[in-house]
Amino acid sequence: MSLSDAFLQEQLHGLGYREVAQVAIGMQGAVFRLGGEKVAKIWFHAGESELRTLGELYAALDGRLPYRTPRLLDLHRPGPYWVTIEEELPGVPLHTVAPQFGDAGWERMRDCVVEVVEAVAQVEAPAVLRRTTVLDEPDPFRSEGVSWIDALSGLVRRRVARFGDQLSPVIDNFETKVENLFVLLSDLKEPETRLVHGDVTAGNILVDEDLRPVTLLDFGLLTMPGDPVFEAAATATVIDLWSPRAREVEAAFDTEFAARLGYDPDHLLTYRCAYSLIIANAHDQDPYNRDTHVPLTANLFNSAQVAVLLSR
């Protein structure tokens, strides 16, 4: 089912907001500008408890990064969906102003993204993240006392159990590659726990006229207490997810992450494989029926570099 703009606006009219304009839409919900330096987000799947916990996370992160982050002002349910009222934050989405990969000046876009990833990696994970869920999972991703590797491996196993029938036909030697991935994950050293945003996209980074990051949006989808290297691996993939040159983009970011942050390329690739399995079916409940990520996951897993990594 596709939700019309008029239907979504009607939810906000019921709250007394008459002049609204849609500014963004994603698998989590739709965002509307309300005026008065406020925006509303209509959540397609989240319930009251999840959103109140998200508000706690927003509060815990306030002032912890060198950028603005969301702040929840109010919570309503005017119709079938919950609505949060939040502060309107400065900047424009990075993807609307950044050069494309291969074009002159792309390095400025890369540096902007790496700066954000590095900044997030400095933030100690707030306690509320021990109670937050990811994607459509019913239980907290990583409760107190659970290791990062166990939590991540458990999430990947659950996603593969649910959606492996869609992945197996399009990924060569799927079962063997997945089992070898779990071996590589189990061999990783348990990291120091830091904040992981989990969805650092070019739409969630807002920048000023000099392409400097000023706001980081959309915590919650895959926000977790974990390893900053996972953040880097995921970001290099999702930052230009649909590009036909995705592997080149990832390689360019990995080179920079290695140079600036000391991250190992095989460590990044291992986490990238885990991330790709996690998000392969993230759009399955999208009311706008947008493209599945399954072909993108298949492209990664069928690449020569992953074939080598997962055959060791």
Both 133 and 19 in a single domain? Answer: no
Tell me whether residue 232 is exposed, middle or buried, using C-beta atoms within 10 angstroms of its C-beta: 0 to 12, 13 to 18, 19 or more: buried
Both 182 and 225 in a single domain? Answer: yes
Question: What pLDDT does 284 receive?
Answer: 75
CATH of the domain at 279: 3.90.1200.10
Which of 87, 116, 136 terminates a domain? The answer is 87
Both 63 and 161 in a single domain? Answer: no
Question: What pLDDT does 25 receive?
Answer: 86
CA-closest candidate to residue 84, choices 25, 27, 41? 41
Both 238 and 139 in a single domain? Answer: yes
Question: What pLDDT does 291 receive?
Answer: 64
- Residues near 99 by Cβ (< 8 Å), separated by ≥ 6? 105, 106, 108, 109
Both 97 and 222 in a single domain? Answer: yes
CA-closest candidate to residue 78, choices 9, 2, 4, 5? 9
Residues in the chain predicted with pLDDT less than 70, given as ranges, are 1-2, 285-291
CATH of the domain at 48: 3.30.200.20
Question: What pLDDT does 312 receive?
Answer: 72
Total number of residues shown for the chain: 312
Structure tokens given for 179: 């089992």
Question: What pLDDT does 1 receive?
Answer: 44
Which of 57, 87, 117 terminates a domain? The answer is 87
Which of 87, 107, 125 terminates a domain? The answer is 87
Helix (H) or strand (E) holding 76: strand 72-76
Both 82 and 121 in a single domain? Answer: no
Both 171 and 210 in a single domain? Answer: yes
Both 140 and 252 in a single domain? Answer: yes
d(CA 166, CA 206): 35
How many domains does the chain contain in total?
2
Both 46 and 154 in a single domain? Answer: no
| 281 in Cβ contact with 293 (< 8 Å) | yes
d(CA 232, CA 7): 38
Both 161 and 266 in a single domain? Answer: yes
Show the DSSP H helices in the chain as ranges: 5-13, 48-61, 106-121, 148-167, 174-187, 228-238, 246-261, 265-279, 294-301, 304-309
d(CA 147, CA 62): 26
Both 270 and 195 in a single domain? Answer: yes
Residue indicated by tokens 């897993």? 301
Phi, psi of 265 (to 5 degrees): -60, -40
Question: What pLDDT does 4 receive?
Answer: 84
State the residue range of the domain holding 131: 92-309
- State pTM to two decimals: 0.95
| 71 in Cβ contact with 87 (< 8 Å) | yes
CA-closest candidate to residue 27, choices 131, 136, 142, 163? 136
Both 301 and 224 in a single domain? Answer: yes
